[in-house]
């Protein structure tokens, strides 16, 4: 049976129980064909090609997980249009991020609509039509990654790639009740991406949960020397209980949307109830930086990205986008440097505010507009949508948008957590906790995500345990004595087997068996200080050892593995799915 919410762990569990990727892909093509909003996709991989692309290796971390990408990201053999038919070209190879995802087993279904050349935050600037909010077709989907946001929210794909320069990977998440991860600049290579503003562009991830977004990030990230803005990933880990900066009443602007204001206040109160600090900040420097992205010389970088096409075929460009590019030509080099200097001066003021907190908790967008309202005031309303997003890339910050509730008319509202560059692991942990606490669910059916994401605390090392050290088991006191902290209960990837060893007390042996498709073994992830981890490993008796264990979400952690010689006389208990289930089998005293 296909899970009601297309979460990666739920799909992996469904595969273990008999669902096939072929059946899922066929069902999703049926959904796509039946979905009434025909503006979501610009092109589709044929059903036959998608089925043929399902990998044979069932142990791949994203095996059989269906996804879509924004049509300013290259796919070999499929035209890249950037929502401008006359600009289209057919690339010979996939964008690097897409190539990595496909190599990890993900199955591409198609390419999605966008605001032309990724110029906009609303989703109405495309000759292919305007994708609509999944909750009410009168309202915008958000942009520029409009189709990518709708596809996930509508259950047409498990995750999608968008891009984010000014908020394009976050505003569609807010408009459609899903998670939108905007990684740090360069964490995911932009190789094979049609640039909007090359120095600011980020490949973004839309998903139903923070855990899914991080699983995708873990595959897609990585340094690429051919991308001038690529940077090797690292993790800036923030405190487990953060201090969050929120808007003071004087800085709150929701364009008259009182329900959005109330939902933001409720999100801040919920954050405080989780034991997090909540501190008002002065938003003025951030607002001024945000205004400069579209209202100053920085917009000229958009013209630099498509200048040759603009000069040769200006009349082929969507009217609103053409007006923006035309205005970009009015700025001089001295104007650009003047605005760079303004941002640098404001950066110091913003840094003073950021120094008081670990991360910001802001509305993702102040309000949501109908398509009719958007078309009537395309520039002003677009600026409104970017009020709390435009500054993020100019300040080299990371961000994750999450669902935060619904208005009485059924339209969703979202908030974003924003932190230092490379703080994604911590932001995702905060987002996962807040998302669940707020209870907005995910996507059109508002189902609550079942997966979880808890990052290690600063200066902690994770450890995967599968047997006697599990919670409540006979050796769990060894972890308790080291003040270890339970991070998550989860399962391994599918290519692991479990054996019952002839030891006292009884213990299982976990073994990695590439090419074997099992159910995934129930495990726990614990976190210890490096010193405690070292003491624990030093006392570990044979045949146990510490190796690298891959979990169902694709992440890899240190964990118990058994030496091969001890498995020769051990009983294979993989079918039980875990040590607890084995011990609880019928007939066990």
316 tagged catalytic:
no
In contact, 200 and 299? CB cutoff 8 Å: no
CA separation, residue 353 to residues 243, 284, 589 (Å): 12, 10, 61
Write the DSSP string, 420-457: ETT-HHHHHHHHHHHHHHHT--BTTTTBPP-----PPP
Which residue in the list 126, 141, 144, 160 is annotated as catalytic? Answer: 144
436 tagged catalytic:
no
* Cα–Cα distance for residue pair 40/352, rounded to 1 Å: 42
In contact, 457 and 518? CB cutoff 8 Å: no
Which residue in the list 126, 146, 160, 168 is annotated as catalytic? Answer: 168
Question: What sign results for the dihedral spanned by CA atoms 361, 528, 581, 556?
Answer: positive
416 tagged catalytic:
no
* Cα–Cα distance for residue pair 220/67, rounded to 1 Å: 13
Q: Which helix (H) or strand (E) holds 538?
A: helix 530-538
- Would you tell me how many other CB atoms lie within 10 Å of the CB of residue 563? 12
* Cα–Cα distance for residue pair 303/325, rounded to 1 Å: 6
Is the bond preceding 278 in cis, omega lying within 30 degrees of 0?
no
115 is written with which tokens? 């605001």
421, 486, 454: which is closest to 555 by C-alpha? 454
- Just list the catalytic residues: 70, 144, 168
């Amino acid at each position: 049976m296909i899970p009601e919410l297309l979460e990666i762990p739920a799909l992996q569990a469904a595969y273990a129980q008999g669902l096939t990727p072929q059946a899922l892909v066929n069902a999703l093509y049926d959904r796509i064909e039946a979905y009434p909003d025909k503006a979501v996709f610009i092109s589709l991989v044929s059903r036959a090609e998608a089925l043929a692309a399902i990998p044979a290796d069932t142990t791949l971390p994203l095996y059989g997980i269906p996804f879509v990408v924004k049509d300013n990201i290259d796919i070999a053999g499929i035209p890249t249009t950037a929502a401008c038919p006359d600009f289209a070209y057919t690339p010979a190879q996939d964008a690097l991020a897409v190539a990595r995802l496909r190599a990890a087993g993900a199955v591409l279904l198609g390419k999605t609509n966008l605001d032309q050349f990724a110029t906009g935050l609303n989703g109405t600037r495309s000759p292919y039509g305007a994708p609509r909010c999944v909750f009410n077709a009168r309202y915008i989907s958000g942009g520029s990654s409009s189709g990518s946001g709708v596809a996930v929210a509508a259950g047409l794909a498990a995750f999608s790639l968008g891009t984010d320069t000014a908020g394009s990977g976050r505003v569609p998440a807010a408009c459609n009740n899903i998670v939108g991860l905007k990684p740090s600049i360069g964490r995911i290579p932009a190789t094979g991406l049609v640039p909007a503003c090359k120095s600011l562009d980020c490949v973004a991830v839309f998903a139903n949960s923070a855990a899914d977004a991080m699983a995708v990030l873990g595959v897609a990230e990585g340094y690429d020397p051919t991308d001038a803005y690529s940077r090797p990933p690292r993790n800036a880990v923030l405190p487990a209980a953060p201090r969050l900066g929120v808007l003071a009443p004087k800085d709150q602007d929701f364009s008259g949307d009182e329900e959005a204001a109330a939902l933001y206040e409720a999100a801040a109160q919920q954050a405080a109830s989780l034991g997090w600090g909540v501190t008002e900040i002065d938003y003025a420097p951030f607002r001024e930086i945000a205004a400069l992205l579209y209202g100053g010389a920085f917009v000229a970088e958009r013209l630099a990205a498509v200048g040759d096409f603009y000069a040769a075929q200006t009349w082929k460009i969507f009217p609103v986008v053409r007006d923006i590019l035309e205005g970009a030509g009015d700025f001089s080099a001295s104007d650009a440097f003047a605005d760079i200097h303004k941002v640098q001066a404001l950066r110091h003021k913003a840094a003073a505010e950021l120094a008081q907190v670990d991360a910001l908790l802001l509305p993702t967008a102040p309000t949501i507009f109908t398509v009719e309202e958007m078309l009537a005031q395309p520039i002003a309303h677009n600026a409104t949508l970017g009020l709390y997003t435009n500054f993020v890339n100019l300040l080299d910050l990371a961000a994750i948008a999450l669902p935060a509730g619904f208005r009485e008319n059924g339209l969703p509202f979202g908030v974003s957590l924003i932190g230092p560059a490379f703080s994604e692991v911590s932001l995702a942990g905060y987002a996962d906790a807040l998302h669940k606490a707020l209870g907005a669910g995910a996507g059109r059916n508002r189902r609550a995500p079942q997966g979880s994401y808890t990052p290690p605390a600063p200066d902690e090392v994770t450890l995967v345990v599968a047997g006697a050290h599990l919670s409540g088991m006979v050796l769990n006191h060894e972890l308790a004595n080291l003040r270890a902290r339970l991070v998550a209960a989860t399962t391994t990837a599918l290519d692991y087997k479990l054996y019952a060893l002839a030891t006292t007390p009884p213990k299982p042996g976990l073994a990695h068996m590439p090419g074997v498709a099992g159910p995934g073994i129930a495990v726990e992830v614990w976190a210890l200080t490096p010193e405690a981890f070292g003491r624990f490993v030093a006392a570990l008796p044979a045949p146990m050892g510490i190796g690298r264990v891959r979990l169902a979400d694709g992440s890899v952690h240190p964990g118990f593995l058994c030496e091969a010689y001890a498995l020769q006389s051990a009983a294979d208990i993989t079918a039980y799915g875990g040590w607890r289930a084995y011990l609880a089998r019928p007939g066990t005293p």
